[in-house]
Amino acid sequence: MLTGWRFRVVSLLGVIGLTLAAVVAANHELSQTLFTTYVPLFNRLEATVLTGESFYLAVLLSVVTVTVSLLPLYKPRPRRILDTVVLVQKRVVVAGFALATLGYFKWSHRLPRATLVMIIGLLGIVLPAWFVWIRRRPQGADGRTLLVGDDLAQIERIAPAVDAPVLGYLCPSSVDYYEFNEGAIGEDDGMRVTADGGLALQHTGGNQELEQALDELSRIGGLSRLEDTLVEYDIDTVVLAFRQADRAEFFGALDACYEHGVDAKVHREYADSVLVAEGDVGDLVDIDLEPWDPLDHLFKRLFDIAFATAALVALAPIIVAISAAIKLDDGGSVLYQQDRTAVFGESFAVYKFRSMVENAESKTGAKISEEDAGDVDPRVTRVGRLLRKTHLDEIPQLWSILVGDMSVVGPRPERPELDTEIQRDGIDWEKRWFVKPGLTGLAQINDVTGHEPGKKLWYDLEYVRRQSFWFDVKIVVRQIWKVLSDVREFASDE
């Protein structure tokens, strides 16, 4: 994989060469004839092949415009593949508008419309592929590696397991050694880490080996510099050396790696605490942040948008009727807002039709409804009982899907306080945080609720392992059938 000045030179030369090739291909007599004959909207134009001075001007104008438009991409920095593709295509479109504008104001340099469209179409395909290809990583190579953690002893012990050269480490800089370091991999000595500040390293113990090992690594900064460091040093792999794999800083580091397309690794002892790639061998294993490939993500997002939009339009009359029924029932608010846990432990606001009395949790606090266990919850209103039985109270969450906070299929999000309570019971609940929460999921179609957190976690992780676009479609079909069955059952009981 290319980095530094080599990436800048190769990416620039590639853009120039591919733009030249696109202009020549678009200006060829055969492509002009095919395009103006068979492509709708352009089949009434005449084939226009530029020659002589007009051709050279078209080449110069196209190369300069496209090269300048792609300036942000010549600097090497970590990006997810899909982000790279989208950014390149955006800049190609900008170049197309620039060429069209220049042609409008300078008629002698104007590119024929068919030629311009073909050039932009070709570059929209080949340039994203070019930038992805030159950033490819050789199989088995970790590239530029960074150690990140809150524990210097943990960093020192994990560093020898890294095969690739380590650029340095990020860690809070004010530390005090103490005799017992619970959770550290290896020996029982270590340190207590305080805030992420700019103080000098304070060594008050007698661990000379640790002090010498850390001298061989360069401390780049504290945890707050993670994102800046990923971009500034064009990091490819981050090895997480936190004392515990369920700390807020741990998931924050994972989030930063995910956003920048950086691989994240942990010590094998954490393999039971986070989702890791199958088949990994050695002391360090890959954290599977993005189990799907980019096309799966694209199809899933398109499916989410289409499903949420169609459902909101189709259910508009029912939404109006439910709103009126809730108001007539007790005069309270129609919607109920809750904070729910999303990817990497972050929270987002989710809306539901209010199915309980106002301020239902003011006395009891957040808890799982007795109805999930088959009992009667006295807090549920008359209208709410119908809504919960028929799942109609979940309709407002279609908006959360539309804006991207949720997906149609995924682990059902819980409230942060309930997540903490479940985690205290020994359930590794954070494993669910590696994918976007969903309106329905494998647990829901199998009638498993939060009253069985261990079983629910198993179904959620099974979904993560098996997820695919068609698996999502099957779950949605089963959920719709389940909702219709529940509605029919409720109507027959009444």
What is the residue extent of each domain of the chain? 4-134, 145-286, 294-493
- By DSSP bridging, strand 284-286 and strand 263-267 are antiparallel
Residue 131 has what pLDDT? Answer: 94
Q: Which residue type is seen at 391?
A: H
Residues of the chain with pLDDT under 70: 1-2, 105-109, 138-142, 173-216, 244-248, 270-282, 289-295, 345, 360-377, 419-433, 450, 490, 493-494
Residue 11 has what pLDDT? Answer: 93
Residue 362 has what pLDDT? Answer: 60
Residue 461 to residue 274: CA distance in whole angstroms: 11
Backbone φ, ψ for residue 262 (5° rounding)? -95, 135
Is the pTM here over 0.75, yes or no? no
Residue 102 to residue 100: CA distance in whole angstroms: 6
Backbone φ, ψ for residue 281 (5° rounding)? -125, 160
Q: Which residue type is seen at 379?
A: R
Cα torsion 348, 353, 359, 361 to 10°: value is: -60
Distances (CA, A) of 479 to 18, 117, 239, 414: 48, 44, 40, 19
Q: How many CB atoms lie within 10 A of CB 338?
A: 16
Residue 279 has what pLDDT? Answer: 62
Residue 50 has what pLDDT? Answer: 84
Residue 142 has what pLDDT? Answer: 59
- Are the beta carbons of 442 and 471 closer than 8 angstroms? no
Tokens 């106002």: give the residue. 358
Q: Which residue type is seen at 38?
A: Y
